[in-house]
């Protein structure tokens, strides 16, 4: 049996069932590097405050650095008797440098330690998420540039609505991911504060320079309330919320990829390298990346609910419940990073079937609104114009014709203001080209949007 850090007060050893039940080392081992980074800053502060001698500090820092390398090389055995990663690191350090390792925990508790490690881990992870979002945006931007003139129907209610450019459609996702990145930046403004020095929850009477450790670790300052410092997990919930919104965006895109790659739509051909087949039906090619992304959204949303439920009704300050914050956090982040990577690969290898898109845009009365707007330009009120065109659509449906197959005479018959030039607005390309307004789908407007998107991407580079 290993000795516990709290052995002094206890007459009995921990029951093995309880030991297994409460150990978190399998999960929190991922915090090892953050834990060491935090300990290095803490040790340096202890030396400055005169608690550690130079020699003790050197031994502790040297031992911690060695341990960091052992972790990177995957050499450290995760002994469940150590309960969590913090205890394991302390024990390994003691094995390395002897009893002076025991001074490292001066003025510190695992409560502020785990809160610190989590903040450091989340901060790195937010950076990773941002990078992956940025590279997905770059792919979308490249596709938008390529497809500034490609026409397809835009949909509402999944019914053909008005023709748009494919670039416009893809850039809608670009802006969702842009907001995801700005959410992460905003998250950092709130999360980047240090809990270190809050100790168990009420600080310490020993010298402790919280400003110094906060600075060393790149935080914007220490958290101003020691009880808040050890019990706050808002930053975890917020980061997982950011993940779940990114997953929402990915899942919408995934749903479209599933639809578009059906024979019924035929807008998208997935590359063989990102699709799978069926073990029974030889003809099948399935959009698994998109489906799994859609499926994983449910997990991430569940992670968010798990975290919010975990925090609800927890009295101040640290409670062991909080150990349960890590599985949903890690799961949400892992899933989101994996989906970002896989969806990017799917997008950059897929082929957009522009002819099928164009056929769909030409076929489905998508320019009916343009004809109504023509009548408005002739002086008719929009409601009346809507009615006139609605009747023409109904007639075409009855006769199995397209709006642009109506003759000039038939148009004038329907309304005298539908003059001979009115048929021109029914052309798909003319329709898209006419919507040059800011934020519109015309190639002209889309080129401006691409410029705006490029500028938005640059902002994150600086």
Q: Which residues are catalytic?
A: 157, 278
Burial pattern 24-50, b for ≥16 Cβ within 10 A else e, equals bbebbebbbbbbbbbbbbbbbbbbeee
Cα separations (Å) of 447 from 431, 436, 438?
Answer: 17, 10, 11
For residue 164, list its beta bridge partners: 152
Q: For ligand ARG, how many residues bind (rule: CB under 6 A)?
A: 9
Choice between 157 and 312, CB closer to ligand ARG: 312
Q: Does 232 bind ligand ARG (CB under 6 A)?
A: no
Query: Exactly one of 162, 246, 323, 336 binds ligand ARG (CB under 6 A); which one?
Result: 323
179 vs 373: CA distance, rounded Å: 33
Contacts of 70 (CB under 8 A, 6+ apart): 76, 92
411 vs 399: CA distance, rounded Å: 15
Choice between 131 and 204, CB closer to ligand ARG: 204
Query: Exactly one of 11, 12, 189, 320 binds ligand ARG (CB under 6 A); which one?
Result: 320
Choice between 120 and 361, CB closer to ligand ARG: 120
- Smallest separation, CB 235 to ligand ARG (Å): 15
462 vs 455: CA distance, rounded Å: 11
- Smallest separation, CB 2 to ligand ARG (Å): 16
> With 0-12 CB in 10 A as exposed, 13-18 as middle and 19+ as buried, what is 456?
middle
- Smallest separation, CB 96 to ligand ARG (Å): 22
Q: Does 322 bind ligand ARG (CB under 6 A)?
A: yes
- Smallest separation, CB 231 to ligand ARG (Å): 11
Cα separations (Å) of 259 from 176, 247, 253, 349?
Answer: 20, 18, 10, 17
Build a one-symbol-per-residue string for 403-442: x at contacts with ligand ARG by CB under 6 A, - elsewhere: ----------------------------------------
Q: Does 350 bind ligand ARG (CB under 6 A)?
A: no
The neighbour count for residue 328, using CB atoms within 10 Å, is 24
- Binding segment (CB under 6 A) for ligand ARG, from list 234-242, 282-290, 319-327, 345-353: 319-327
> With 0-12 CB in 10 A as exposed, 13-18 as middle and 19+ as buried, what is 292?
middle
Question: How long a stretch of residues is the chain?
Answer: 462
- The interface with ligand ARG within residues 75-94 (CB under 6 A) comprises 84
Q: Does 110 bind ligand ARG (CB under 6 A)?
A: yes
Choice between 101 and 114, CB closer to ligand ARG: 114
Q: Does 231 bind ligand ARG (CB under 6 A)?
A: no
120 vs 116: CA distance, rounded Å: 6
- The interface with ligand ARG within residues 26-45 (CB under 6 A) comprises 28
Cβ atoms 188, 218 nearer than 8 A: no
94 vs 87: CA distance, rounded Å: 10
- For residue 104, give the nearest of 89, 85, 82 by alpha carbon: 89
Q: Does 9 bind ligand ARG (CB under 6 A)?
A: no
Query: Exactly one of 14, 39, 47, 111 binds ligand ARG (CB under 6 A); which one?
Result: 111
Cβ atoms 117, 24 nearer than 8 A: no
- Smallest separation, CB 25 to ligand ARG (Å): 8
Could you please report the per-residue DSSP string of 3-26?
A: PPTTGGG-SSPPPHHHHHHH--HH
Q: Does 117 bind ligand ARG (CB under 6 A)?
A: no
- Binding segment (CB under 6 A) for ligand ARG, from list 42-50, 108-116, 168-176, 279-287: 108-116
Q: Does 24 bind ligand ARG (CB under 6 A)?
A: yes
Choice between 24 and 251, CB closer to ligand ARG: 24
- Binding segment (CB under 6 A) for ligand ARG, from list 122-130, 170-178, 317-325, 428-436: 317-325
Choice between 46 and 230, CB closer to ligand ARG: 230
Residues in contact with ligand ARG by the rule CB under 6 A? 24, 28, 84, 110-111, 114, 320, 322-323
């Amino acid at each position: 049996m290993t000795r516990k850090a709290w052995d002094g007060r206890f007459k009995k050893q921990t029951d093995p069932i309880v030991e297994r039940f409460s150990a978190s080392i399998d999960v929190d081992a991922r915090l090892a590097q953050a834990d060491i980074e935090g300990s290095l800053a803490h040790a340096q502060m202890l030396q400055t405050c005169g608690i550690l001698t130079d020699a003790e500090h050197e031994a502790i820092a040297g031992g911690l650095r060695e341990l960091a390398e052992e972790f990177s090389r995957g050499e450290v055995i995760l002994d469940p008797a150590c309960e969590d990663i913090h205890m394991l690191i302390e024990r390994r350090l003691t094995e390395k440098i002897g009893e002076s390792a025991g001074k490292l925990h001066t003025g510190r508790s695992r409560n502020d330690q785990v809160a610190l490690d989590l903040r450091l881990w989340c901060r790195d992870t937010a950076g990773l998420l941002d990078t992956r979002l940025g590279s997905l945006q770059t792919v979308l931007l490249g596709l938008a540039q390529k497809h500034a003139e490609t026409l397809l129907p835009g949909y509402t209610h999944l019914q053909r609505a008005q023709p748009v450019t494919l670039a416009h459609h893809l850039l809608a996702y670009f802006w969702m991911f842009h907001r995801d990145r700005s959410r992460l930046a905003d998250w950092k403004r709130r999360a980047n504060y240090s809990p270190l020095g809050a100790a168990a929850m009420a600080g310490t009477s020993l010298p402790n320079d919280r400003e110094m450790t906060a600075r060393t670790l790149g935080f914007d300052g220490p958290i101003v309330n020691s009880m808040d410092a050890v019990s706050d997990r808002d930053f975890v919930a917020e980061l997982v919320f950011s993940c779940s919104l990114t997953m929402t965006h990915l899942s919408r895109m995934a749903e479209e990829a599933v639809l578009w790659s059906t024979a019924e739509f035929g807008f998208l051909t997935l590359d063989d390298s990102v699709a799978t087949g069926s073990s029974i039906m030889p003809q099948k090619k399935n959009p698994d990346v998109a489906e799994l992304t859609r499926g994983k959204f449910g997990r991430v949303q569940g992670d968010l609910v798990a975290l919010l439920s975990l925090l609800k009704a927890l009295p101040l300050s640290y409670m062991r419940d909080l150990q349960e914050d890590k599985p949903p956090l890690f799961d949400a982040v892992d899933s989101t990073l994996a989906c970002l990577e896989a969806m990017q690969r799917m997008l950059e290898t897929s082929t957009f079937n522009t002819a099928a898109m164009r056929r769909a845009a030409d076929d489905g009365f998508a320019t009916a609104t343009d004809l109504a707007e023509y009548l408005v330009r002739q002086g008719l009120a929009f409601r009346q114009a809507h009615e006139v065109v609605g009747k023409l659509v109904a007639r075409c449906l009855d006769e199995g014709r397209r709006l642009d197959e109506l003759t000039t005479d038939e148009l004038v018959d329907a309304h005298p203001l539908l003059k001979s030039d009115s048929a021109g607005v029914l052309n798909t390309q003319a329709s898209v080209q006419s919507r040059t307004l800011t934020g519109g789908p015309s190639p002209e407007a889309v080129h401006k949007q691409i410029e705006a998107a490029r500028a938005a991407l640059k902002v994150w580079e600086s």
